[in-house]
Structure 1
Amino acid sequence: MARTPAARPRARLTAWQAWAALALGMASPAWAAVYTFPGALPVACVSTGSGTYSCTTVTLAAADTVNVVGSADVRVTGNLDIKGSQVNASGAAANMKVTVSGTMFASTGATFNANITAGNVASSGAVNYGGSLSTTTGYLNIGQGSRVTGSVNTTSGTITLSSGTSSNYTTVGSANSASGGLLLNSYNRVLGESRVGHVSGGDYNVLGGPVTALNTYVSFSDHVTINGNVSAQSYVFTGHYANITGNITSTQLQVDTASHSTVTGSITANGTYVNLGGYTTVGGPITAQTYVDTGSHSSIGGDITSRTSYIDTGHGTSVTGSLLAGGTYIDIHSDARVTGSLTAKTYVSMYDNGVVGGSITAQTSTVFINDGNSVGGNVTAASWAKIDDYTTIFGDVTSTGSYVYISTHSTINGNVTAATTVSSGTDSRILQCARSTGSSTMDFNSPTLVAGACCGAAGTCGKSCISGSPVPPSCRSFDHIAVQHGTGTGLTCAPNTVTLVACADSGCSTLYTGGVSGNLTAAGTGITVNFPAGAGFNIPAGASSTTVSFQPVTAGKVTVGAQTASPTASSGSTCNFGSPSCAFTVADSGFDIAVPAHTSGTSQTLSIAAVQKSATSTACVPAFGNVVKTVAVACSYSNPTSGQRSPVVNGVALNTSGAASAACDGTGQLLSLSFNGSGVATPSLIYSDVGKLTLNLSLAGSDQASGLNMTGTGSVVVAPAAFTLTGSPTTVVGAGSPFAVTVSAVNAEGNVTPNFGRETSPEGVRLSWTRASPTGAGASAGTFTGTGVGATAALTSFVNGVATVSDLAWTEVGSGDITSTLASGSYLASGLSASGTTGSTGAALRSVPHHFDVGVTQGCGSITYSEQPFRVTITARNAGNGITLNYNGTAATTPALSKQVTLSATTNASLGSFAPGSATVPAGNFLAGVATVTSPVFAFTSKLTAPAAVGIRAVDADGVSSLGAVEGTVQLRSGRLRITNAFGTEKRALTAPVQAQYWTSKAWVLNSLDNCTRVPLAAVSLGGYLDAKGASTSDWHTAVVPDANGKAISMVNGNGTLTLEAPTAHTARVPAGSVDVSINLGSAASDASCLPAPRPDTTGAAQGWLRAKFGSSNGCAGVAEFNRDPSMRATFGVYAPELKRLIYSAEVP
């Protein structure tokens, strides 16, 4: 049975008195009460048994303490107000459950370790909650600096966290509400998940888990950090400098992020758009139902998809992926980088100096590519396609419905095809076929390189539509099939394989890749020829060769050829063997020679099989076995057709001198070869050069003398083992500036192979760039250019196996390595390739900005006062004037490659100097190649200096400079702020004229260009009050009247006013007299005027550049320097001496 208050121990009487006083509405006793569950309970509470308690309205005093022994389930039917008391402070929250029908109140300093459910929660100030807080129907407010260890939960009410501080966040464990909102002010923290109806947050909030808006939106101001996914039914908005570790999803509306934000995952707006502020990083793809708009210098780590509208990427944006605009257009702004392709429903527009790694397709409209761009794939437009100056397209350009225009200095590595006209500007290049399928005018301005041109549809090649000069040759068309075999000899007992090559000209110097089908022919008098896989052949489009096997079963000569079915050849087939041409000789016995293609300088097994035709079939059988035979072995050069070195077989060089360093001479050597039981000899072969060799074998010695005649011819391809790269720069190179590298083809021993590059169709290398530094989300790949660079490019200028390329350039800052690979991918079609690299640590090049551009924003409109800070923007650029994004000092790149920049004066430098410390730009200020500082201050040595333009130069530790580039100027004037005495009636406000002035070299005059000077109210000092008789007084006062800008003084065209309100009397005396007014233009609390001390302290305006020699006329100390603040005297109700008259008082409006 519960004890009544009267029966409780006397020691607790003070507690009872306190609660009684509260219940009766009286003031509580000054002492603190201590309550215990169970035990001395608050007066409004009774025990209902089994650890449960029932209370009506309960109000504790701020210093009260409530202890729990064991556990307590407290149910309050009214309100609960714990003020600043300590409830279960030393206990666990799990031991106390509190249910409040009304509102639970708590105040600063309180501790409440319980799991609490109330109708509403109104917590003010810093309160420590050890458990969870929940409301059944109403709101839940958490005070400034409070901490809730558990979750905060409502059904439909709003959860509100008051603003914390940078050192004391208002913190809750997690937030949950079925339909209520979560309202975060500034410096709030949610340790876990937030799952509520909607979320609204101020600045500097931290959320440790996912954020989900079940009903509507998620919205945050600046500097929010979220460690989890963000999803909302309607929109998602994040302010500047947001950091989200996860995905963002809007189910029904849009996603907006302000500048300098980071999202590590994807962004999806299933309702409308995605809009990113500048310098935003997204680690994954972006998908929007309507448009996607990225701010400048954004970085996207995946594809961008607009399902029904457009995509617009800001200046300097980087996308690692492709762009698909399923509704309308794609706009790529200048200096953008896209590694994948661009596909738009309507048009594609690409601004200056961008890179697209893949293809560009405009499905229903146009493609416009502006100056200085690079496209790694094809460009296809349904309407016209226009390629502007200095642009490179590595694939084809096609307009299926209109014209193609190629502007000056641009290069198209593939074909150009238009339904109507094709035009090119001067110094442009079309390296494949230019075709007008509608036979419209084609005009190539000289000097222009066009590899070929055709008027009409594919398959035709007139040139009547070509206007002006030059007139290019006709485009490549199918001329004939070339039948190729290494020796033109074979055996009757084995299939003989020939290669069929489709040629676009008579000499087969250009291959045809349009696709060819036909049949191989082979016939000889009295000779039967079998085709093991059939005589038909097909060379698919995109390829230029195939193979066919045939087997004459009777010794003799057969004539080999090719008959084409589609398309029809312009000429008959040719062969690279036979006398007469195309005569293929077969014998019933001989040497079958086989050696796989291999790399130069490595030992390879040469297989020589002595075979003859079986007496019972067309198969080959050994001619002899288990015997040593003398065989004459000679070598010759097939491709290239000459050489400097000889192959070595079984240690013997195949020339008369027997020296591997000497060339093949056709004589060869007699070798004793051991044939095994299968009739096969396996000597070793090593060749230290490259190319295709022919080996000629014939039986010699006693066997030849006895009339046994066996011959054989075989070929082998020997490829380079690797490429070495040397001669890269040893000093820093300006980004985009040319540098040289020497490439050497070498064998397995590292020696140069002199025949590389001398092939009939010279083999070459392709150069590529791998950035070593910097790394990170903000790192830019830049563009690597030069001879041998590009998807279809090749460096072929090899002499004796060595080539030097001198026009390589990388447009970015950092370091990297060059990789050289065999351009064809298969040396002489052998399947062997080779490569080489400068390494993986940036050994090829260290690149710095080519130059800086310096922009100056004046401190005051179009001018800057001497000693006034002005804004300087420094932009790091490459030789092509593009921004070097990797010149960065933030954590977006590793390492940070920017350097501290020093500013100096160029023109008129002798007139003054920079203030100490103001002429340096910290390396960390650079973000994606651009740094802005607002601290530079240039001061004239003499205050009495006429206006001058001072040029500003920037130089960093690597010597990168703005010399010869854009250098802004500071339009300096030596200034002062002048205010004059004012007289007027005491019945109304008094206005004193103020003027901004500058020194002309002869006098101080009005500075009509000053529309910037603002003097705050707090910078004006009013003191030295005098009455009408000139005696010191405190009988009245006045104050500054704020102007329309809320300031004391605001300049307009160099003129302003300072207005004082009409005097306010403190006594019955007439409020007339004067007051001294000074304007504190410095930063200290005391002004530097020449008024007598003491003067009231003020908050300085920090505009010391407007100080001058004020006070020199009355002998004020220190006026030798221009360091005095302006001052004046305002006089109310007293005549002005210069007017020689009285001011008569009257009622005035």
Structure 2
Amino acid sequence: MNSFRTHQSGYRARSLSTLCLVVLLSCPVSAVPVLFNLLGGATMGVDWVTSNASRAVINSLGELNLRNGYVEVESQVYDFSEADSVDLSFDVSVPFNILGLIGSAPNPGENLVAQYRRDDGGWQTLNTFVANNGFLGLLSLGNSYTYSATLPSNAYHDNFQIRYVMTGGGFGLFDLLGDNWYVSDIVVNADLPPAGPDHFRFSYLSTALTCNPHSVTVYACADANCTSTYNDDVTIILSPSGWVGGDTRTLSGGRDTFQLRQTTPGTSNIGITFSTPPKIGGGDLCSIDGGGYSTNCSLTFASAGFVVSTPDFLSGKGTATATIQAVRQSDNSPLCVPAFSNVTKSVDFYTRYDSPPTGTMVSDLGGVNVSGSAAAPTSLSLNFDGSGTATLPTLGYSDAGQKTLVARYDGSDSDVGLTLIGQDNYVARPAGLCINTGSTCSGSYASCGVFGTAGDSFPVEISAVAWQADSDSDFCDGNTATPNYISVSPVNLSATVLAPSGGENGVISPGSYTHTMSATGITSVSMTQSEVGVFSIDAQPPLYFGAALGTLSDTTLQTFSSRPTGRFIPAYFDVALTDAGSINSGCPTGNTYTGEPFSWLVAPELTISSYNAATPAVVTQNYTDDDFRKLTAAALFAGVSTPSTDTAAQGKDTTLLPLAGSPETDFNEGELTVIAPGQMRYVFSALDSMAYARTLNAEVNPFVPDLAFSIGSWSDGEAGFTGPLNFSPDTSGVSMRFGRMRLQDTFGAEMYDLNVGLVTEYFLDGKYVRNDLDDCTDWDSANATVDGISAVAASSGTLTAGSSGNEGIRLLAPTTVPGAPDTGDAGISYTAPTWLRGDYDGDGSFESPSSTVSFGVYRGHERIVYRRELRN
């Protein structure tokens, strides 16, 4: 079977510039649509093969007819391995039927399956056309269907085929007129590299000499407009005869330069008489002396003229090695001999713009401007040596591009009738690129001013510039622009991080631009830099007329850099709540008293990330370098709003319960650390302290605290966070209780020491009850004072379930009369923590608890019959 010709995938690029041939450079080949009519002129057994020759034919109407039962039909093989896309379309039709049984249409079960071969060798079903009543109806006069689709990527391989399968399962008893599927107009449209060049083009100068081979550049064009070249090898036969190295040559990479020798004066026509592969388009076209392409492909050889040699040079620097030689064909051989020697002659010069075809700057010879018009040339007096050669004054041109220097001599006196013409083109190549960001940064990069925001656009002006000095390292310092510079393919853009050291270079967008000619020579590019820091903006232009900028022949691409930019800063910060934290109760049982300070069991934790302004935004990893991180814990702490009241618990007057002021409630600056590039952690301070204000209004039933914190707007001085971020720490294990301490009244025998019990209580439903959650309150007799007939002995302990139990503050047996026990009362008071003091006397203020201790066996105070606490 036939297969479509394979092409090297390296030449399939689609992004092509029409500038390619303007500057006489080859460009990658573009894929072109190729139509394949799989049935046009096809025959069974050659273009298609079948599993049963009696059941598949290509009929006189050009239709693929599958009939009378199971059969498979496969197309020839096609090579779509380099296809950019493959589209398939075909039509399917069926004749009439009755009930799907009688007639020439397929019966139920005799379906038509369309498939293609995948790159793994298997068959992939595209569609199944069903031969049943659902498709054809109970009574049908026939039907048709059109299929069209773009095939998936697994169809792009070198063994592509189409297959149609008629399945079995029909009712042969009723096949009175046969069972038929008809497939027509099977068309594949594939985007493929061309099978051969579309046509050929030639470019050459018109001043050819019989004594000197003449250079002709040949292009193999991939399309009618020659926007790209056909880069596979092409064997060509050149005409006329006389090409150096033979008339049969191989054209590689889309272009090559050959030399034609003609030893007899006269005019020849340049062309290609045959090529392999053959061209698929139009005829040959020629450009003479840089002019437009036309069918005029003549070349006239003269027996005498100038051989002009103008080497390439850097724009603005020029070359002192350009020469001109007056030659003629020897009388005895085809070799060149001097046309005159050891004489001084006046020669006319003018220049021509080749690429680009226009310009504003003139070339000069030894500082003398050279005319751009053949009608008004510039005359120079030249000294020709014995070989007929004269060295030209330094040839200079401050712009970029390719130009041609044309020389003409019209003889006089003894040379009357002698006309010598010669020309040569030269390339003035820019010395480099000036990348001007409009800002510069020196010294300590971290101290430089803000240049821009990461992710936001900023303008950059890029110009190709002329040579100023061999040691030039800053092409933006005094170098003049070359307005005619054009990049024939995109200039690659990137950035190099200068600070922080070892930081990320970031992503520059766009990643490339195309430099166009302009009056100023400046191309403005709106760019973005994704990262934070100080950078150089780098540009790597493509080869210019076969060599890198700043060189005469080096093909290694050169990269040019801007001065250091100022600092890029983040666009904003994002704050995420990593941990809302939890409250540490005053006692592990969960008990905390109103007025009692409490702090964090787990301090709240935040993650702060610095972002750029891109969409979507990306973390700027360089920000957290020590020198570029401007955010401090103090700046972040300044944006923290701390609670002043509970959000739900109310006092007696139904207002929200407030927190106490300093020093009971005191918030401190937390700790800020770097946890990953571009990310920081802020942890609230372990020194933070909170307490509810203890007032009579706060004498309410126990409640679970609900405290609201907020991270408001803050800034590092350059970029900021726009809040709020609200959160509440976990307080689920805390019971906030309005409490007090009570000293128990005690009595006993006067000859023994007595213990005064301590009890803590909390307010519940209008009365005080013992606080069985208090396992933490410490007591110490050092805080007790006694008056009367006793004294305090040293004792201490910790309450359990709100009580000191059998222990307490020990009062010594009274000894008013030495040596004899005494009876009577002693008053005792205890300096309790402020949150355990109560309004025992109902005067609206809180005081420490007190009680009376009676010494005497089973007696209390003689004047007291019964004692209990009364509440207002």
Shorter-chain-normalised TM-score: which range? 0.5 to 0.7
- Alignment partner of 1:746 is 2:465: yes
1:768 paired with 2:473, answer no
Q: Of 622, 625, 638, which residue of structure 1 is paired with 2:338?
A: 622
Q: Residue 521 of structure 1: CA displacement?
A: 0.6
Report what 1:969 is aligned to.
Answer: 726
Residues 745 and 753 in structure 1, CA contact (< 8 A), matched pair in contact too:
yes
Aligned counterparts of 2:842 and 2:417: Cα–Cα separation in 1 = 131
Quickly say closer, same or farther: Cα 1:510–1:939, change in 2 above 3 A. farther
How much has 1:1059 moved relative to structure 2? 5.2
Q: What do the CA deviations read for 1:364-396 (whole angstroms, capped 9, x no partner)?
A: xxxxxxxxxxxxxx9xxxxxxxxxxxxxxxxx9
Report the Cα distance in structure 2 between the residues aligned to 1:716 and 1:899, rounded to whole angstroms: 58
Residues 526-553 of structure 1: per-residue CA shift (max 9 Å, x gap): xx513237631242xxx44333333223
Letter in 2 for 1:500: V
Match of 2:310 among 589, 592, 595: 595
Identify the residue that residue 812 of structure 1 maps to in structure 2.
Answer: 531
Q: Take 1:459 and 1:709, find their aligned partners in 2: how far apart are those partners?
A: 61
The one-letter amino acid of 2:224's match is S
TM-score by length of 2: 0.55
Q: Which residue in 1 is equivalent to 2:436?
A: 726
* CA distance in structure 2 between the aligned counterparts of 1:568 and 1:697, rounded to whole angstroms: 38
1:858–1:971: 8 Å Cα contact kept in structure 2?
no
Equivalent of 2:623 in 865, 887, 895: 887
The total of aligned residue pairs comes to 578
- Residue 604 of structure 1 pairs with residue 319 of structure 2: yes
Distance 2:572 2:390 in 1: 67
CA contact (8 A) 2:349 2:370 kept: yes
Contact 1:717 1:828 in 2 (8 A): no
Question: Aligned residue for 1:322?
Answer: none
| In structure 2, distance between residues paired with 1:858 and 1:1116 | 44
Secondary structure at the counterpart of residue 261 of structure 2: strand
Q: Secondary structure at the residue paired with 1:886?
A: helix
Provide the secondary structure at the position in 1 that maps to 2:296.
Answer: coil
Q: CA deviation at 1:809?
A: 1.8
Q: Distance in 1 between matches of 2:763 and 2:365?
A: 97
Question: Is the counterpart of residue 507 in structure 1 residue 225 in structure 2?
Answer: yes
Relative distance call for 1:586 and 1:499 in structure 2 (3 A) is same
Distance 2:623 2:328 in 1: 73
Q: Which runs of 5+ in 1 are unaligned?
A: 1-377, 379-395, 397-414, 423-435, 443-452, 463-471, 656-662, 985-989, 998-1002, 1004-1013, 1041-1057, 1064-1070, 1076-1090, 1096-1106, 1128-1139, 1142-1149
1:537 has 2:250 as partner = yes
Equivalences for residues 639-718 of structure 1 within 5 A = 639-655=355-371, 667-683=376-392, 684-702=394-412, 706-718=416-428
Confirm or deny: 8 A CA contact 2:500 2:625 kept in the other structure: no
Change (3 A) 1:740 1:909: farther
The CA distance in 1 between the partners of 2:566 and 2:524, in whole Å, is 14
Change (3 A) 1:664 1:747: farther
Note closer, same or farther for the CA distance 1:723–1:521 as it changes in structure 2 (3 Å cut). same
State the Cα distance separating 1:745 from its structure 2 match: 1.7
- Once the two structures are TM-superposed, the CA of residue 773 in structure 1 deviates from its matched residue by 0.7
Distance 2:266 2:845 in 1: 120
Q: Alpha carbons of 1:664 and 1:1059: their partners in 2 closer, same or farther (altered >3 Å)?
A: farther
Alignment partner for residue 521 of structure 1, among 213, 218, 238?
Answer: 238
**What's the CA shift for 1:1109?**
4.6
Cα distance in structure 2, aligned partners of 1:664 and 1:899: 67
- Give the Cα–Cα distance (whole angstroms) in 1 for the partners of residues 467 and 837 of structure 2: 90
> In 1, are the aligned partners of 2:796 and 2:808 still within 8 Å (CA)?
no
The answer as to whether partners of 2:285 and 2:295 remain within 8 angstroms in 1 is: no
What corresponds to 1:560 in structure 2?
270
Structure 2 counterpart of 1:756? 485
The partner residue of 1:800 within 506, 512, 519 is 519
C-alpha spacing 1:939/1:615, structure 2 compared with 1 (3 Å): farther
* Residues 1020-1059 of structure 1, C-alpha deviations (whole Å, 9 max, x = no match): 5244599xxx99998998768xxxxxxxxxxxxxxxxx65
Query: What does residue 877 of structure 1 align with?
Result: 611
Match of 1:960 among 709, 719, 722: 719
Look up the SS of the partner of 2:721 in the other structure. coil
Q: Which residue of 2 is the match for residue 295 of structure 1?
A: none
TM-superposed deviation, 1:593: 1.2
Post-superposition offset of 1:602: 1.1
Pairing 1:856–2:583 present:
no
- Distance in structure 1 (CA, Å) of the matches to 2:520 and 2:125: 45
> Is structure 2 residue 455 aligned with structure 1 residue 736?
yes
Distance 1:636 1:873, change over 3 A: same
Tell me the secondary structure at the aligned position of residue 817 of structure 1.
strand
- Aligned positions of 1:309-328 closer than 5 A: none
Partner of 2:175: none
Q: Within 5 Å, which residues of 2 pair with 1:173-572?
A: 477=194, 479-480=197-198, 482-513=200-231, 515-523=232-240, 528-532=241-245, 535-539=248-252, 543-562=253-272, 563-566=274-277, 568-572=279-283
Q: Within 1, Cα distance between the matches of 2:517 and 2:368?
A: 30
After superposition, what is the alpha-carbon deviation per residue over 1:385-436, rounded to whole angstroms, capped at 9, x for unaligned? Answer: xxxxxxxxxxx9xxxxxxxxxxxxxxxxxx99789999xxxxxxxxxxxxx9
Give the drift of 1:441: 13
Q: Distance in 2 between matches of 1:483 and 1:506?
A: 11
- The CA deviation at 1:712 is 1.1
Cα distance in 2 for residues equivalent to 1:896 and 1:545? 53
Distance 1:773 1:897, change over 3 A: farther
Change (3 A) 1:950 1:556: farther
Whether the 8 Å contact between 2:490 and 2:542 is mirrored in structure 1 is: yes
* Cα distance in 2 for residues equivalent to 1:461 and 1:1036: 100
Contact 1:887–1:926 (CA<8 Å) still a contact in 2? no
CA distance in 2, matches of 1:896, 1:623: 73
- For 2:124 and 2:516, locate their aligned partners in 1 and report how far apart those are by CA, in whole Å: 38
Pair 1:955–1:857, CA change in 2 (3 A):
same
Amino acid at match of 2:611: R
Q: Deviations over 1:855-899 (max 9, x none)?
A: 234554599999755222211122232222212245xxxx45454
| Relative contact order higher in (CA < 8 Å, ≥ 6 apart) | 2
Question: How far off its partner does 1:601 sit?
Answer: 0.9
C-alpha distance in 1 between matches for 2:466 and 2:334:
41
CA distance in 2: counterparts of 1:802 and 1:556, whole angstroms:
44
Partner residue of 1:900 out of 632, 650, 654: 632
Distance 1:629 1:796 in 2: 43
Question: Secondary structure of the residue that 1:498 maps to in structure 2?
Answer: strand
Deviation (angstroms), 1:817: 0.5
Amino acid of the residue matched to residue 1021 of structure 1?
D
Deviation at 1:1112, TM superposition (A): 4.2
Supply the AA of the counterpart residue of 2:348. A
Pairwise CA distance, 1:648:
0.8
**8 A contact 2:741–2:837 mirrored in 1:** no
- Structure label with greater radius of gyration: 2
Q: 1:939 to 1:531 in 2, by over 3 A?
A: same
Q: Where in structure 2 are there 5+ consecutive unaligned residues?
A: 1-12, 14-29, 31-80, 89-117, 127-151, 162-188, 440-448, 469-478, 586-596, 646-658, 699-704, 745-756, 767-772, 811-827, 851-865, 868-872
What's 1:785 paired with?
Answer: 509
Could you say what the CA RMSD is over the residues aligned between the two structures, in angstroms? Answer: 5.6
State the SS of the aligned residue for 1:601: coil
Instruction: State percent identity of aligned pairs.
Output: 21
For residues 954 and 712 of structure 1, the distance between their equivalents in structure 2, rounded to whole angstroms, comes to 77
- Judged with a 3 Å threshold, the aligned counterparts in structure 2 of structure 1 residues 767 and 994 are, in CA distance, closer, same or farther, namely farther
Any conservation in 1 of the 2:742–2:849 contact (CA below 8 Å)? no
For 1:33-72, what aligned pairs fall within 5 Å after superposition? none
User: What CA distance in whole angstroms lies between the structure 2 residues aligned with 1:519 and 1:576?
Assistant: 19
Structure-1-length-normalised TM-score: 0.43
Q: Is the 8 A contact 1:522 1:560 kept in 2?
A: yes
Instruction: Give the Cα separation in 2 of the matches to 1:612 and 1:626.
Output: 16
Q: Deviation digits for residues 1050-1089 of structure 1, max 9, x if unmatched?
A: xxxxxxxx658997xxxxxxx56689xxxxxxxxxxxxxx
